[in-house]
Amino acid sequence: MSNFGIRWPGDSFINRGLAASVLALLVAAGLFGIVGCGSSGNSSSSGNGGDEIVIAMLPKLVNIDYFDACQRGAERAAEDLGIRLIYDGPSEPSGSEQNKFIETWTRQGVDAICIAPNQPKTIKRFVEKAKERGIKVLTWDSDAADSGRDLMVNQVDDKLLGETLIDDIARQMNEEGEWAIAIASLEATNLNTWRRYAEERALSHYPKMKLVETVVTKEDESVAREQIELLLNKEPNLKGIIAFDSNSVPGAAEALKRTGRAGEVALTGNSTPGRMRPYIKEGVLESFYLWDPRALGNLTIRLAVKIVNGEEIAPAMPIEGHRDLVFSENDSTMVILSDPVRFTKENIDEYDFGI
């Protein structure tokens, strides 16, 4: 370093850094060359030879048993139909992370993208971008009505589920007394849609029922248990709880079991049979609801393939392995998978949802 012992700002960049950066660029160019040559012969830059259909599926988040079951159903459909499935998603329920996945797949030029949006409004621009490049876009599990998606595959009619839950709990509470809500987060759109329908119906149909508390369980069964234990202690006159996600229901059931208030406080909600089986058998709660998540994944992929192939999706259309297509009453681009299954002690062993 010939700078008379003085270190000028940035001189190291000029002396060695520049030369080395040029070298690095050359090395990288060489690497790219190898990559490029190694896979030459295929004429498409989109990576898909055109003959094979590629469908990308984006859950709200990965590593969670509900969406894992959806994935298995989707994989089954992909295998049956001979298409290639890319299933990936963010590790946290974040809208902007999901947008990045949509951008990546748009660039890779997949044929269809099936999205379960965390934030329905934020995907709009990315859906538009994908559609500009001729990619079909479906939503599933949770809707983004204004995004310009081609089709929504809804597991259940939102209104029906919310009202079914409140009706069930009202019947168990004899339509009077205090009730509470447990919900994973205040941002999850579909959970809060169900919650809203339930609250509205409680106000209009069950005047003697009083909503006393809403607790947030942060998508963690252990947090749910702790929060519900607190709630039970705080509200000695509580008669019913509706829990709106697959972690809150088992957490609430465990809390009822540990505090010995089972039977005294009614509980219902939607969760997975695998986790709820012990509680149902012990009689901690009478019933809970779910649809088959594998069927949801399966139907989504089957419909996506039909749309990619240019088939018209119409009511009462027969789909292999599913009931004939039923559309939502309010939305002609929304397919309803099924009515929610009511699980009780008697029928819980009849179903295998894979979770």
Partner 1 sequence: MFRRISKSIRQRLLFLTAGNLLLMGVILANLLSGDDSTTASALDRFGTVLMDAGPNVAPVILAGLGLTGIIFAGALDLSIGSMMVVAGTVFGILFSRGFDPAACFLGCFLTAFVLSNFNGLLIRWLEISPIIVTLAGLTFYRGLALIMADAFIPDFGGSIAVHDDAYHGPGQRYPGQILLIAILAALAWETWGKLPRVWLAHGCSPEACRLHGLKPGLILQSTFFAGGIFLGLAALVDVTNRQNLEPARMARGFELEVIGAIVLGGTNIFGGEGSFLGTILGAFFLYFVGQTLLYADVDLYYREAIQGALIVIVIGVDCALHRRQKLLDELK
Partner 2 sequence: MRPYLLPILLLAEIALFTAISDVQFGSVADFVDYFRYYLMDLVPQAAPVLILSFGMTVVMLTAGIDLSVGSMVVLVACVMSQFEGDQQFWMTAIPIGIGLAFTLGFVNGSLVAWLDVPPIIATLGTMMFYRGACSIVMGDRENDPFYDVPGYEWFAGTVGTVVVVGILFALGGSWLQWSRWRRELLMLGGNRVAARYAGIPVTKRLLQVYSLMGLLTFPAALCFTAHDGAVNAGSLPGLELKVIVAVVLGGTQVEGGKGSVFGSVIGALLIAVLDEGLRGASGWGDRNLPFEISHLRFVLLGGLLLLGVWLNSHADKSRPLNPASPTATPKPT
- Positions in the binding site for partner 1 (CB under 8 A): 62-65, 67-69, 91, 186, 214-216, 218-222, 225-226, 229-231, 233-234, 236-237, 247, 250, 254, 258, 274-275, 278, 354-355
Q: Closest separation between CB of residue 105 and partner 2, Å?
A: 8
Q: Closest separation between CB of residue 79 and partner 2, Å?
A: 13
222 binds, among partner 2, partner 1, none (CB under 5 to 8 A by kind): partner 1
Q: Closest separation between CB of residue 47 and partner 1, Å?
A: 26
Residue from 187, 320, 331, 349 touching partner 2 (CB under 8 A): that is 187
Q: What's 8's DSSP letter?
A: -
Q: Which is nearer to partner 2, 96 or 344 (CB)?
A: 96
Residue from 175, 178, 192, 319 touching partner 2 (CB under 8 A): that is 192
Q: What's 340's DSSP letter?
A: P
**By CB under 8 A, residue 79 contacts partner 2:** no
86 binds, among partner 2, partner 1, none (CB under 5 to 8 A by kind): partner 2
Q: Closest separation between CB of residue 62 and partner 2, Å?
A: 6
Task: Give the burial string for 282-320 (b: 16+ CB within 10 Å, else e).
Answer: eebbbbbbbbbbbbbbbbbbbbbbbbbeeeebeeebeee
From 64, 68, 57, select the one nearest 102 (Cα to Cα): 57
From 269, 278, 264, select the one nearest 224 (Cα to Cα): 269
CA distance 55 to 322: 20
Q: How far is CA 170 from CA 32, 85, 167, 177, 229, in A?
A: 65, 43, 5, 9, 21
As a whole number of Å, the end-to-end CA separation of the chain is: 66
95 binds, among partner 2, partner 1, none (CB under 5 to 8 A by kind): partner 2
CA distance 74 to 80: 10
197 binds, among partner 2, partner 1, none (CB under 5 to 8 A by kind): none
CA distance 74 to 299: 8
CA distance 126 to 100: 9
Q: Which is nearer to partner 1, 187 or 331 (CB)?
A: 187
**349's tokens:** 């062993």
With beta carbons less than 8 A apart as the criterion, state whether 229 and 257 touch. no
Q: What residues contact 210, with CB distance under 8 A and at least 6 apart?
A: 177, 178, 179
Q: Closest separation between CB of residue 161 and partner 2, Å?
A: 18
**By CB under 8 A, residue 236 contacts partner 2:** no
**By CB under 8 A, residue 107 contacts partner 2:** yes
230 binds, among partner 2, partner 1, none (CB under 5 to 8 A by kind): partner 1
318 binds, among partner 2, partner 1, none (CB under 5 to 8 A by kind): none
**By CB under 8 A, residue 81 contacts partner 2:** no
Q: Closest separation between CB of residue 343 and partner 1, Å?
A: 16
CA distance 153 to 138: 7
CA distance 317 to 123: 29
From 153, 56, 142, 71, select the one nearest 103 (Cα to Cα): 56
**Which residues are near partner 2 by CB under 8 A?**
1, 5, 7, 9-10, 12-13, 16-17, 20-21, 23-25, 27-28, 31-32, 35-36, 38-48, 62-63, 84, 86-89, 91-96, 99-101, 103-104, 107-108, 119-122, 124-125, 185-187, 189, 192
